[in-house]
Amino acid sequence: MAGKESRLKELQAQIEQPDFWNDPSSAQKTMKAASGLREEVESWGKLQAHLQDLAELARMDDESLRADLEHELGELEADLERRSFTTMLSGRYDDDDALLAIHAGAGGTDSQDWAAMLERMYIRWSEARGYRTEVLERTEGEEAGIKSVTIAIDGRYAYGYLRSEKGVHRLVRLSPFDAAHRRHTSFALVEVLPQVAMDDAEIEISPGDLKMDVFRSSGAGGQNVQKNATAVRLTHIPTGIVVTCQNERSQLQNRENAMRVLRARLLELKHAEREQEIAVLRGEYTKAEWGSQIRSYVLHPYQMVKDHRTEYETGNTQSVLDGNLDAFMESYLRTAA
């Protein structure tokens, strides 16, 4: 912790320099790093003070305080367990913000409804952790649910936790859209990308490699229909990656959001190609297929959510769908560490 306190002092000295804001992009990075360190240092300081208070109470040897002390110690142990887990989130982008995209798979309206259920689940998880969420792009389904959604999730370790959710999620239930009320299986793909700073040297986008189309945003009708062409579609010609953003009323804002998503997708592509090359050299490479779901959510004929990578499961399906995902995330991340 002494090293982090020293680093925080160095960053604070930079912030106090008169020319600090001459380079706004670099200044914002420094401010974000300082904010994260300050939060961590202050948090550990509060924990240390709490421990000292409990030690003083324990030394009083007052039997009437025993129950309260045991309760406080239990909470401290849980807090320390959470803190020890974050030390495992040491990847290059683990402490950064995340972009989460959900795409409905095969299954028509049921899968589109399942995608909307996942959107709600991840937004609730984010809110419970105090993270800020912003929907960058959302395409509604024809009858219900959504075809796809892209959400920016801002908060420390957002990417580190959410990278455990990347993959195909399967839902088994009695379909509310089937007149015969038969059991249906639906699929949705979850993508998780680190949000990449616009000046990240690892990703270079030449203006000549971009094609931009503008069009009117789609809506439910009435006052929601845009009269001006504010929606933006960016095509990265060398890779064929297409990103569309239409949630904002400003064409400029939609373009900025589209660039955020494009840079994240290019970074993911670059890392995937690098990992594939290493896997081929090791003789380990196997192609990822759509059908290889990472997690199943069964609502009928029994209640269970099971992660197929770790075998972790629970029968409290409603709690999971309400955003209680930490146990699944931590189980996977401990296994993958």
In the chain, the amino acid numbered 33 is A
What average pLDDT does range 25-48 have in this prediction?
A: 78
Q: Where residue 225 falls among pLDDT bands split at 50, 70, 90? A: very low
Phi then psi dihedrals of residue 297, to 5 deg? -115, 105
Alpha helices in the chain (DSSP H): 2-15, 24-59, 66-86, 108-128, 158-162, 251-282, 317-321, 326-336
pLDDT in tens, 242-265: 999 887 778 888 998 899 899 899
Q: Are 141 and 104 in contact (CB under 8 A)?
A: yes
pLDDT of res. 162: 96
In the chain, the amino acid numbered 110 is D
Taking alpha carbons only, the member of 249, 273, 267, 327 closest to residue 295 is: 327
CA angle 46, 51, 52 (to 5 degrees): 100
Please count the CA atoms within 13 angstroms of the CA of 256 that sit on its side-chain side.
9
Task: For residue 206, give both structure tokens.
Answer: 């030449």
d(CA 330, CA 319): 16
SS3 247: coil
pLDDT of res. 102: 95
Task: For residue 163, give both structure tokens.
Answer: 């990278």
Q: Are 129 and 155 in contact (CB under 8 A)?
A: yes
Q: What count of other Cβ atoms lies within 10 Å of the Cβ of residue 260?
A: 22
SS3 283: coil
d(CA 294, CA 311): 10
pTM here is 0.76
Q: Where residue 269 falls among pLDDT bands split at 50, 70, 90? A: confident
Q: Are 197 and 31 in contact (CB under 8 A)?
A: no
- Asked whether residue 212 carries a pLDDT value surpassing 80, the answer given is yes
Q: Are 230 and 137 in contact (CB under 8 A)?
A: no
d(CA 332, CA 81): 16
Q: Assess whether the previous peptide bond of 207 is cis (omega < 30° from 0).
A: no
pLDDT of res. 180: 82
pLDDT of res. 222: 39
SS3 12: helix
Q: Domains of the chain, with CATH numbers?
A: 2-86 (1.20.58.410), 98-195+306-336 (3.30.70.1660), 207-282 (3.30.160.20)
pLDDT in tens, 65-94: 888 888 888 888 877 777 777 777 878 788
Q: What count of other Cβ atoms lies within 10 Å of the Cβ of residue 200?
A: 15
Q: Which residue has the tokens 């002390």?
A: 69
* Region label for 167, one of left (φ > 0), alpha (ψ between -120 and 50) or beta (otherwise): left
Q: What count of other Cβ atoms lies within 10 Å of the Cβ of residue 92?
A: 10
